[in-house]
């Protein structure tokens, strides 16, 4: 095992990787920008190096400086986390050329999966099902029309260099084809500097199901099962779970074998993820492979019992995976909510400011992978994801109930967060049935937001005011109907509370909304 590694990232994922290092007995080295001098990952690591100004392009994306820093402090390996430099072929290559270990796939595997059309061709060659469509870019509208006539409308135009939905256009019928092709080309050119576009049959109402794979340097690649990631907005996932209600043990085996075949074809080593669309008839189609550790990796860890970050380090150091495929069976249910500094009430507008107060959920089956603390300044320099709240329970119903409970325990003051939004999703009947697909969130958003109860601090103050008003009016201290004095934290589900408390809370809410 390495004795010292550098973590080329910040926030919650830097802390996650530091924890793995500590458990492995590896010294950790953090890097930080001007904006992160006081950040928790800097304090928690064994050493920390300043890398540049606040903008990522001058700090967390400066691969040259990061490699130089790693060599200076005597680190043997670099963990890139996710985002930033994690999927840059040139960075993985630079790390290797400088005699260090990149804790991730080889640069050749990153390159093989980087182009969407190349990845499609690689998948087809490996017998991996892809959505019916072209394997190379279309010349012009006439060529696109021939393809669309063959597969039938609707079709989807996609950027060959793409990913993340940029340069994508749904075409409902022949009349829209020419203008949509022009629009897709323009967007692709702007986003990727490449206007190549290809055509696929448009799959209506699928789920996004992905398979976690893990490979070592000795030829073993294993599937760690699926994650259901359909709850997303504008290609940003909000909630993930493992396993998926739509995946039977047989389908799990089939999708797992398929993902392993795709990874093997790319010469894959370390942790990676194959993304699939799963249609309503249970057919699945390979979309792309993410050649990094993903944000949502904890749900897989909780149902498999395998620490993915520790194993990333172990296989990078040359260890063999000690498991076989049939050892890996998901147990129970895990759900993750991404806690972001966005205001769901205002179109998920990014919120900035200081975290004035933070109370974290705890108790059985609750995991908090966070990057903030009281006093943290939330700026616009970096991603709005502040933390992930992850729960495990024996089954899905209990996991949903546990997530709801944990969200109620969470308090963040000073900035807006996605907490309320997550509470509403956990209360939603369709979500509770697992009746979701990739368009679910955008369709249901109007019914999920816009019924915001007063903010915690306001509610607490209003309850106190109501109690004082009651005392002044009656000369008595308010008590619950069962005769025992009770207090409310203003957070738990009303239906589980004694009647008297409901009356206080109702009065408090009236007070709270009166002048708004």
CB of 123 to ligand MV4, least distance (A): 13
Number of residues that bind ligand MV4 (CB under 6 A): 16
Whether residue 292 lies in the annotated active site? yes
CB of 304 to ligand MV4, least distance (A): 23
Select from 25-33, 70-78, 161-169, 454-462 the region that touches ligand MV4 (CB under 6 A).
161-169
Q: Could you give the CA distance from residue 448 to residue 288 in angstroms, rounded to a whole number?
A: 30
Torsion of CA 417, 421, 423, 424, to 10 degrees: 160
Among 187, 195, 200, 369, binds ligand MV4 (CB under 6 A): 200
Establish if 152 lies at the interface with ligand MV4 (CB under 6 A).
Answer: no
Q: Could you give the CA distance from residue 510 to residue 90 in angstroms, rounded to a whole number?
A: 59
Establish if 160 lies at the interface with ligand MV4 (CB under 6 A).
Answer: no
> Are residues 29 and 49 in contact, defined by beta-carbon separation less than 8 angstroms?
yes
Q: Could you give the CA distance from residue 242 to residue 294 in angstroms, rounded to a whole number?
A: 14
> Are residues 248 and 226 in contact, defined by beta-carbon separation less than 8 angstroms?
no
Q: Could you give the CA distance from residue 377 to residue 386 in angstroms, rounded to a whole number?
A: 11
387-446 residues near ligand MV4, rule: CB under 6 A: 438
| Signed CA dihedral, 266, 269, 272, 273: sign only | positive
Select from 83-91, 94-102, 200-208, 316-324 the region that touches ligand MV4 (CB under 6 A).
200-208
Q: Could you give the CA distance from residue 81 to residue 8 in angstroms, rounded to a whole number?
A: 7
Among 75, 203, 263, 460, binds ligand MV4 (CB under 6 A): 203
Query: Closest CB to ligand MV4 among 397 and 442?
Result: 442
HEC sequence for 11-25: HHHHHHHHHHHHHHC
Select from 9-17, 194-202, 395-403, 474-482 the region that touches ligand MV4 (CB under 6 A).
194-202
Select from 91-99, 202-210, 420-428, 497-505 the region that touches ligand MV4 (CB under 6 A).
202-210
349-378 residues near ligand MV4, rule: CB under 6 A: none
Which one from 16, 292, 402, 509 is the annotated catalytic residue? 292
Q: Half-sphere exposure (CA, 13 Å, Cβ side) for 244?
A: 31
* Cβ count near 235 (within 10 Å): 12
Query: Closest CB to ligand MV4 among 208 and 381?
Result: 208
Query: Closest CB to ligand MV4 among 221 and 287?
Result: 287
Q: How far is CA 67 from CA 55, 64, 316, 361, in A?
A: 18, 5, 17, 37
> Are residues 178 and 169 in contact, defined by beta-carbon separation less than 8 angstroms?
no
Among 84, 91, 102, 202, binds ligand MV4 (CB under 6 A): 202
Query: Closest CB to ligand MV4 among 165 and 450?
Result: 165
Q: Could you give the CA distance from residue 268 to residue 213 in angstroms, rounded to a whole number?
A: 9
Select from 201-209, 299-307, 380-388, 420-428 the region that touches ligand MV4 (CB under 6 A).
201-209
CB of 16 to ligand MV4, least distance (A): 24
CB of 193 to ligand MV4, least distance (A): 19
Q: Which residues are catalytic?
A: 292
Return residues touching ligand MV4 (CB under 6 A).
131, 156, 163-165, 200-203, 208, 232, 235, 277, 287-288, 438
């Amino acid at each position: 095992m390495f004795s010292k590694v550098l973590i080329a990232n910040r926030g919650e994922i830097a802390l996650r990787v530091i924890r793995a290092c500590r458990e492995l007995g590896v010294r950790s080295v953090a890097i930080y920008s001007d904006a992160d001098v006081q950040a928790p990952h800097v304090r928690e690591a064994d050493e920390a190096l300043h890398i540049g100004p606040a903008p990522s392009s001058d700090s967390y994306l400066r691969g040259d400086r990061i490699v130089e820093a790693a060599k200076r402090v005597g680190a043997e390996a670099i963990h890139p986390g996710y985002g930033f430099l994690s999927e840059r072929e040139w960075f993985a290559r630079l790390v290797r050329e400088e005699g260090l270990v990149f804790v991730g796939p080889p640069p050749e595997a990153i390159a093989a999966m980087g182009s969407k059309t190349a990845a499609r061709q690689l998948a087809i060659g490996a017998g991996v099902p892809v959505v019916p469509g072209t394997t190379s870019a279309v010349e012009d509208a006439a060529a696109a029309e021939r393809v669309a006539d063959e597969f039938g409308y609707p079709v989807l135009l996609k950027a060959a260099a793409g990913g993340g939905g940029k340069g994508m256009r749904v075409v409902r019928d022949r009349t829209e084809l020419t203008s949509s092709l022009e629009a897709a080309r323009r967007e692709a050119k702007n986003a990727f500097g490449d206007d190549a576009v290809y055509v696929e049959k448009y799959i209506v109402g699928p789920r996004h199901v992905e398979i976690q794979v893990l490979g070592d340097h000795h030829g073993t690649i294993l599937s760690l099962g699926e994650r259901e990631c359909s709850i997303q907005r504008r290609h940003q996932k909000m909630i993930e779970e493992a396993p998926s209600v739509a995946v039977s043990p047989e389908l799990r085996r089939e999708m797992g074998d398929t993902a392993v075949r795709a990874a093997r074809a790319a010469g894959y080593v370390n942790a990676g993820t194959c993304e699939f669309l799963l249609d309503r008839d249970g057919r699945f189609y390979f979309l792309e492979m993410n050649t990094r550790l993903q944000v949502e990796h904890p749900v897989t860890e909780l149902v498999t019992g395998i620490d993915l970050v520790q194993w990333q380090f172990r296989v990078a150091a040359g260890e063999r995976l000690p498991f076989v495929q049939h050892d890996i069976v998901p147990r129970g249910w895990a759900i993750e909510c991404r806690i972001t500094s966005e205001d769901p009430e205002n179109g998920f507008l990014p919120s900035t400011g200081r975290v004035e107060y933070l109370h974290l959920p705890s108790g059985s089956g609750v995991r908090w992978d966070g990057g903030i603390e009281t006093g943290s300044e939330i700026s616009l320099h970096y991603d709005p994801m502040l933390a992930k709240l992850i729960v495990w329970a024996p089954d899905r119903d209990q996991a949903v109930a546990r997530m709801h409970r944990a969200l109620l325990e969470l308090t963040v003051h000073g900035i807006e967060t996605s907490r309320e939004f997550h509470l509403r999703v956990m209360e939603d009947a369709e979500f509770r049935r697992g009746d979701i697909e990739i368009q679910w969130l955008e369709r249901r958003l109007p019914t999920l937001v816009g019924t915001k109860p007063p903010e915690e601090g306001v509610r607490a103050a209003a309850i106190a005011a109501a109690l004082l008003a009651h005392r002044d009016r009656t000369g008595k201290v308010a008590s619950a109907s069962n005769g025992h004095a009770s207090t409310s934290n203003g957070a738990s589900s009303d239906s589980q509370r004694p009647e008297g408390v409901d009356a206080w809370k109702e009065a408090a809410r009236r007070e709270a909304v009166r002048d708004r």
